[in-house]
Amino acid sequence: MSVLFTNALVVTMDDALTVHENGWVHVEGTTIAALGSGTPPEVPGAEIVDCGGDIVMPGMVNAHCHMGMSVFRGLGEDVDDRLYRYILPLERKFVSAEMVRVGSALSALEMIQGGITTVADMYYFETEVGDVCDKAGLRAIVGQTLADFDPPDHRNFDEGFARVEELVDRFAGHPLVMPSIAPHAPYSTGRETMARIALWSADHPDVPVQMHLAESSLEVKWALDTHGKSTVAVTAEAGLLRPNLICAHCLQLDDADIRMMSEHQVCVVTNPRSNGKAGRGIAPVEKMRNAGLPVGIGSDGAMSGNTLDLFSQFAPVSMFAKLFAGSRKPLPAVDVIRMATIEGARTLSLNLKTGSLEKGKQADLIRISLAAPRFHPIYDPYSALVFAAMPSDVTDTMVAGRWLMRERKVQTLDVGKTVADANQIARQFKAEMDRIDRQAGVEEVRP
């Protein structure tokens, strides 16, 4: 298959931040064969897509997600104890391979519509997530979660490891779906199991490790009470601060933690909307990036962040950096788009394959219409992408040369069925929430 995009504002996100006005991109099979500006080349047999001045840019990297959880979207919003009141009981009762498949399909659908081409996921029954991403056509890192709090798909760490091994076997050599091991967090994995995972990881250097790190003050307290040091230091002690470790959240860090993370060359994912909505705090993104840590952007699960596009994260990540510094200057718009594309890919060690439009890289790209009046005038395309663009502006999504969405029509999933399946599960959840509320003897706890 050969496709030639013409008449586009090509935002490449290469090292030189090349932008081709009146640009073109030639996709051949799964890869970008060539790109440039001015008169496009003659490509016999290529399908010509005249972009009419639209932006063509790298598909975005959602570097932290729990795809299965979209069926929990906005559940118990604003209820302070919703995790223990609703979510954990519902997870124990309802999380199954089937639920994960339905939730992940809804998430995949929304991400394709929102211009995401790569996602890093961690949840349960993760082979299901891998199958959904395979079908949807998304590039994905799928991480089997390990945790000690009686999670839905393993009774102990041995069973958890068995699930990881199954996942690794299943997706070994898959062109798009990459298996991953995902200790839930230091406090819910424990130092000894983290050490076991570190050894396993030494034997599997190509399998990314994903973990929530320094997310809450409770975690900080756990580390201090149990081990007398920071949660980052405990993780380092266990040998798990390794270059293939992808750390999500990273809110509760001091300078020594950041230095330690930098020395061990870990990668970071910030989830500003999820953190902000929980009132948890603001990640020191500028500090981490200045210390040389690559920082990607994640939506977190829809339960926490509600929407799974990255546009919804741009204003928060940007504002938080500016508020943190008390100035308009930090984290300029171009850096936000870097984080959403090439830096996100680097966070997942996928930067040689995706995250920028360059000759020889995978054809993971999106087209963004500038038709909406809210874009205009445009003084700077990065500012327009960060502060004016929305998921509805994405018209086309392509991964490895395959159209996942064309002219707003998703090609790989059935929209109506996917939404209906999720709503069917939500009806069960609502009934159970009502039961929980009745049992608690509270007429109406939700605001």
Which residues from 377-406 bind a copy of itself, rule CB under 8 A?
Answer: 377-380, 382-384, 387-388, 390-392
Question: What are the DSSP calls for 312-367, one per residue?
Answer: HHHHHHHHHHHHHHTSS-SS-HHHHHHHHTHHHHHHTT-TTTSSS--TTSB--EEE
Considering CB under 8 A, how many residues would be counted as binding a copy of itself? 73
The residue within the footprint of a copy of itself, chosen from 13, 71, 220, 238 (CB under 8 A), is 71
Handedness of CA 320, 221, 292, 184 (dihedral sign): negative
Q: Which of residues 205-244 bind a copy of itself (CB under 8 A)?
A: none
User: What Rg do the C-alpha atoms of the chain give, in angstroms?
Assistant: 21
State how far the Cα of 435 lies from the Cα of 62, in Å rounded to an integer: 35
Q: Which of residues 331-350 bind a copy of itself (CB under 8 A)?
A: 332-334
Rounded to the nearest whole angstrom, what is the least distance from the CB of residue 271 to a copy of itself in the complex?
12
The binding track of 271-310 with respect to a copy of itself, each residue x by CB under 8 A or -, is --x--xxxxxxx-----------------------xxxx-
Is residue 89 near a copy of itself by the rule CB under 8 A?
no
Of 45-53, 120-128, 136-144, 427-435, the window that binds a copy of itself (rule: CB under 8 A) is 427-435
Give the residue with the Cβ less far from a copy of itself, 190 or 391: 391
The residue within the footprint of a copy of itself, chosen from 58, 330, 344, 401 (CB under 8 A), is 330
Give the residue with the Cβ less far from a copy of itself, 132 or 308: 308
The residue within the footprint of a copy of itself, chosen from 3, 106, 207, 253 (CB under 8 A), is 106
Give the residue with the Cβ less far from a copy of itself, 196 or 212: 212
Of 30-38, 138-146, 350-358, 372-380, the window that binds a copy of itself (rule: CB under 8 A) is 372-380
Is residue 372 near a copy of itself by the rule CB under 8 A?
yes
- What are φ and ψ of residue 427, in 5° steps? -65, -40
The residue within the footprint of a copy of itself, chosen from 20, 64, 66, 82 (CB under 8 A), is 82
Of 21-29, 49-57, 106-114, 149-157, the window that binds a copy of itself (rule: CB under 8 A) is 106-114
Crossing angle of helices 97-113 and 126-136, rounded to 10°: 40
Q: Determine the Cα angle at 226 with ends 224 and 228, to 5°.
A: 40
Give the residue with the Cβ less far from a copy of itself, 73 or 163: 73
Rounded to the nearest whole angstrom, what is the least distance from the CB of residue 394 to a copy of itself in the complex?
11
Task: Give CA separation, 321 vs 276, 312, 369, 390, in Å.
Answer: 13, 16, 28, 21
Q: Which of residues 255-274 bind a copy of itself (CB under 8 A)?
A: 273
Is residue 413 classed as helix, strand or coil in its secondary structure?
coil
Give the residue with the Cβ less far from a copy of itself, 113 or 244: 113
The residue within the footprint of a copy of itself, chosen from 318, 347, 369, 412 (CB under 8 A), is 318
Which residues pair with residue 109 across a beta bridge?
A: none
Q: Kindly state the helix (H) or strand (E) to which residue 187 belongs, with its residue range.
A: helix 186-189
Give the residue with the Cβ less far from a copy of itself, 69 or 213: 69
Name 373's Cβ contacts closer than 8 Å, sequence gap at least 6: none
Rounded to the nearest whole angstrom, what is the least distance from the CB of residue 62 to a copy of itself in the complex?
13
Tokens for 224, please give them: 């201090």
State how far the Cα of 7 lies from the Cα of 21, in Å rounded to an integer: 8
Contacts from 373-380 at CB under 8 Å and sequence distance 24+?
Answer: 380/333
Rounded to the nearest whole angstrom, what is the least distance from the CB of residue 248 to a copy of itself in the complex?
18
Of 6-14, 155-163, 171-179, 416-424, the window that binds a copy of itself (rule: CB under 8 A) is 416-424
Tokens for 70, please give them: 């979209």
Give the residue with the Cβ less far from a copy of itself, 65 or 194: 65
Q: Kindly state the helix (H) or strand (E) to which residue 409 belongs, with its residue range.
A: strand 409-410
Is residue 93 near a copy of itself by the rule CB under 8 A?
no
The residue within the footprint of a copy of itself, chosen from 27, 57, 61, 75 (CB under 8 A), is 75
Name 327's Cβ contacts closer than 8 Å, sequence gap at least 6: none
Q: Which of residues 161-180 bind a copy of itself (CB under 8 A)?
A: none
State how far the Cα of 245 lies from the Cα of 261, in Å rounded to an integer: 10
- By residue count, the chain amounts to 447
Rounded to the nearest whole angstrom, what is the least distance from the CB of residue 41 to a copy of itself in the complex?
30
Give the residue with the Cβ less far from a copy of itself, 261 or 425: 425
Cis peptide before 377 (omega within 30 of 0): yes
* Amino acid letter for position 138: L
